[in-house]
A and B are shown apart, each in its own frame.
Chain A
């Protein structure tokens, strides 16, 4: 374990901006993509209902 404290962890030895900028954008996009995919699925199901089943 190389971290003395929480703030030490967030500082990343002075590279905080770069490390968290990388991991942060990675996390945000990889959460957003499945949400968008799920939204598209719901839309497709709605279209089928409106166009063919009603």
Chain B
């Protein structure tokens, strides 16, 4: 009787600690096996798109359509993996599914990079790392890196070049090095005005990759602006650009995306301000905004101004002055010393002042 009572208690305890869903809805071995096979098949289907992103065949419409499909396949795999985490109890199988999902994201990163969508490529890589772990470069697996039409018996459709993950990451780095992640702050405009903003090329590399990559970024920028985003990040190939608008009240804003740099945010703001440089001639600095030199310091856009002091200047100048409006105007210097002067007063971090202010840099 006592034993029976203990058994019942144990059973009750077990029932209490085991989630009901896990006990009733886990997938059986056959279903798990089928799921693993389905993942493999989706992953295989994904890799077949490599052949479209090589050589002359990779026209812009082909690339766009191919990447559309690639994204759908990865979404499919992601969605299934998310569900499988709830219902696959077999740890080994779940691990296999996780790794296939990670491989799918790595492939998508490669395909996106070849398809000149650097931003998506980085995003997929980050997901692969999240699934595999930070030591992904040490992953001992070979995956398709490229494909070309096959000519050998048994490989007439496509021949795949396989590569280690480390080699694939090297490929990715090479692709990404041509791109610069640029952040745009456009919150001071009304949504309807933001929707009119567009990116234009104003110079830089003229190769097909750069042009196509810019087209992707420009389309993404326009879509996000149209969606009302106040802050937009897009990956642009190195080069010179400008933000323009169909709204004549919005002045074009030029900027440069410099290779290998982490540029300051590009601020597009209907308001302007002026600098007044009080330094003596020996210390008249060179100012650049968004990678481009500023000659006239009156009525200038908000943003991050890089300051380079001429040789022989005895004063210590800030390296950077960031003038922002969010919503009140703030001025911040780097280094954040207090012996620079604003309107006759020392510059404080995050001070507020109305738009149209004149900032005096005493040097």
> Are the chains A and B members of one assembly?
no
